[in-house]
Structure 1
Amino acid sequence: MTSTAANRGSTPPRPAIPFDPNTSISPPVATKLGSELAVHKVGYNGRPGAFADVACRMAFPSADRIALPSLETTIASTVRGEVDRILLPCENSLVGRVPDVHRIVPDSGLHIVGEHFQRVEHCLMAPPGASLASIRRVRSHPVALGQVSRLIAALDLEAIAAPTTSHAAELVASCKDPSEAAIASDVAADLYGLDILKRNVEDDPHNTTRFYVLSAEPQAVEQKTQLLTTIVFRTQNRPGCLYHAIAGFAENGINMTKIESYLVGGQFVPSRFLCEFEGDPATSEVADALDTLAHHARELVVLGTFPMASHHLRNRSEEKLSSWGTKPPAAFRWSDGQQEADR
């Protein structure tokens, strides 16, 4: 993570990191920067069977997964070198951003080195021998219960909150009561010996959680790949300051993909802004935009630059097709989610 002083011309140069194809990550399965040691341990906040566990299995299939009890201990395990990477959820397509991650990560000293999009597929599960007709109560995390409201109404179930989805699965497994059910992942059903009565019971089929992949060291990136950079900043508390602070992105033709404000320190002002944009601070265009931002900012921290996941490119293609109708104009063809002028 790189901190930038809020004075024009004081932006420190980004460390030169020689590109090594063995350390580039997209998706985030890579070796540690400056080392040939593979990622052996990946930490996540939660319990085995939680969706963070599922995300780790998908993003790092060959790594050992370490379940950790809190965000703070998850971050500390990376700082101490006990794990090589951690996955932290940063936003969900239905419920929005994960506030604690936004609060903790900017001050952690860690670097965002990748991203992973995990489809959330809720399963209705119960002890062996139970059936849809026998269940009367369903347990899960409150957010998960809210995402399966149609199922709960259709089966006329009593919804009971649990600390996590995996907690719910473990509790239902331990009671062995055919009237009890849980909403959790298929991994949780397998871990706790529950039968899946119904799969994909979520109300919205597009329910997806985005995870940041974080490391104690920055990650080498290939300049030819499409990159995202994540920053946080605070502006001066005066009219027009935010407008002028981010003007450099438009002036340099940089696509800003996200900007949102959030409160820190229990105070309503000044807000902190989290921003993501396409590009690398090593390029002159991005460096100029960040220099303009730093001139108007009280704080500017670069959290990381990393390869853009295919999820972004796919969505961009769908947006283009939607704006054009059923297919793009004949003057364009598609390659890896990007338009190219026909020659």
Structure 2
Amino acid sequence: MMALKGVSTWGCSSSKPHPQLGVVSSHSGHIGNNLRYDLHKCCKWECCCLGVLAQRAITPVEDEKSSSSPLVESPGAADEPLQNESKGFHKDMNLLPKPLTAIDISSSPRDGSKVRVAYQGLPGAFSEDAALKAYPECETVPCDDFETAFKAVELWLVDKAVLPIENSVDGSIHRNYDLLLRHRLHIVGEVQLRVNHCLLGLPGVRKEELKSVVSHPQALAQCEVMLNDLGAVRISAHDTAAAAQTVASNRARDTGAIASFRAANIYGLDILAERIQDDDENITRFLVLARDPIIPGTDKPHKTSIVFSLEEGPGVLFKALAVFSMRNINLSKIESRPQKQRPLRVVDDSNEGSAKYFDYLFYIDFEASMAEPRAQYALGQLQEFARFLRVLGCYPVDTVV
């Protein structure tokens, strides 16, 4: 069995007690009293990372009891060796890295010369492209699903995880927002990747021969115009790389796949068409996650991601956003998610009895470094009326797409 190392988490507690929250020291592991914040001392606010304050950890407000029951590993799905001498196609797909599963608890041998980066999908997935953009010399580690990638970092199987958080066409990936709160990882970077959907087929097949196309549902939806012109039947797959592997494995000449350029090279498929997406400006933003936060600076543009919930009252959300506006801090992203453990808030109505509303968590990205006093003062003021506040990470902005 592998020894697990404790992970510290940036966070702070409201001055008002909350039944779901407790403050945990990253050094002792004991539950302490909720911290009370003095606005006049906000330059010493506990969430700042100037290297002079001990880092705190806070119990998540959502999904506090993560599932510990062992999950059943997916069948190996070992494919028969394929004979194809063209394009350096893998004769045995078993030579490709196998995705980690939720019950994988031992890491492969590592020499320490490369960063190991987890991603969701099979080799050739767009998430692997994002990992290689962030760490060109890294060793990529495929995972079955998003949560397995989170756990791989927590269990020291890998050093980092690169996971999608939003797409310019389809919006936010809500599952990863929820997992950010459930797990105690830190955002240490971002990657903006331009998506190039390619139509792939078996060697020698022409585009006109295709009767069906397999890919991830989002990829199929993003290439609707081309698929309508082709008149092909759409078949859903777990991810784009899995679609390419399916076409290569089944050897069906009338079936194509929508996947990446790298997937074509990995699985020995021809690229029948490139950039087939409806929107040329199709960009996916990924987050780089690690066990420990980085020390933010001011030498380059930084972004800070936080999550918080608010007390009931008129204009409270307006007040929360105003703490950034009055300090000239730009908000680049606002996302709200209903609280799972407390989905409804009961509010007394003067005439009709009780009204029930969704209770929300708010995720915000703002363009400032936690090394800047204005960011520290803004979060110090926000804490005055926030029921829960946690800093998910402070990291450099990716300016190259």
Q: TM-score, normalised by structure 1?
A: 0.82
RMSD: 1.8
Distance 1:186 1:283 in 2: 41
Q: For 1:14-42, what per-residue CA distance to the aligned partner results, in whole angstroms no more than 9, with x for missing partners?
A: 24349xxxxxxxxxxxxxxxxxx775211
1:280 is displaced (CA, Å) by: 2.1
Distance 2:210 2:170 in 1: 28
Instruction: Note the residue ranges of structure 1 that are not aligned, 5 or more in a row.
Output: 19-36, 315-343
1:230 is displaced (CA, Å) by: 0.4
Aligned residue number for residue 2 of structure 1: 10
Aligned with 2:239 (options 127, 150, 164): 164
User: Is the counterpart of residue 246 in structure 1 residue 321 in structure 2?
Assistant: yes
Q: Percent identity?
A: 34
Q: TM-score, normalised by structure 2?
A: 0.70
Aligned residue number for residue 12 of structure 1: 46
Residue 384 of structure 2 aligns to a residue whose secondary structure is helix
CA contact (8 A) 2:296 2:395 kept: yes
User: Is the counterpart of residue 68 in structure 1 residue 68 in structure 2?
Assistant: no
1:240 is displaced (CA, Å) by: 1.1
CA contact (8 A) 2:298 2:371 kept: no
CA contact (8 A) 2:49 2:296 kept: no
Aligned residue number for residue 237 of structure 1: 312
Select between 171-180 and 9-18 the one with higher mean Cα deviation.
9-18
User: Is the counterpart of residue 151 in structure 1 residue 179 in structure 2?
Assistant: no
CA contact (8 A) 1:117 1:211 kept: yes
User: Is the counterpart of residue 225 in structure 1 residue 310 in structure 2?
Assistant: no
Task: Map 1:1-343; keep pairs closer than 5 Å.
Answer: 1-7=9-15, 9=37, 11-17=45-51, 40-265=115-340, 267=343, 269-311=358-400
Distance 2:184 2:284 in 1: 23
1:178 is displaced (CA, Å) by: 1.5
Residue 208 of structure 2 aligns to a residue whose secondary structure is coil
Which residue identity lines up with residue 199 of structure 2 in the other structure? L
Residue 144 of structure 1 aligns to a residue whose secondary structure is helix
- Number of aligned positions between the proteins: 294
Instruction: Note the residue ranges of structure 2 that are not aligned, 5 or more in a row.
Output: 1-8, 16-35, 39-44, 53-111, 345-357
Distance 1:224 1:256 in 2: 20
CA contact (8 A) 1:231 1:303 kept: yes
CA contact (8 A) 1:103 1:264 kept: no
Which residue identity lines up with residue 270 of structure 1 in the other structure? D
- Alpha-carbon distance change, 38 to 117 in structure 1, aligned in 2, over 3 angstroms: farther
Residue 383 of structure 2 aligns to a residue whose secondary structure is helix
- Alpha-carbon distance change, 68 to 226 in structure 1, aligned in 2, over 3 angstroms: same
Distance 2:376 2:258 in 1: 47
Select between 302-311 and 208-217 the one with higher mean Cα deviation.
302-311
Indicate the structure (1 or 2) with the bigger Cα radius of gyration: 2
CA contact (8 A) 1:39 1:84 kept: no
CA contact (8 A) 2:339 2:361 kept: yes
CA contact (8 A) 1:94 1:207 kept: yes
Residue 133 of structure 1 aligns to a residue whose secondary structure is helix
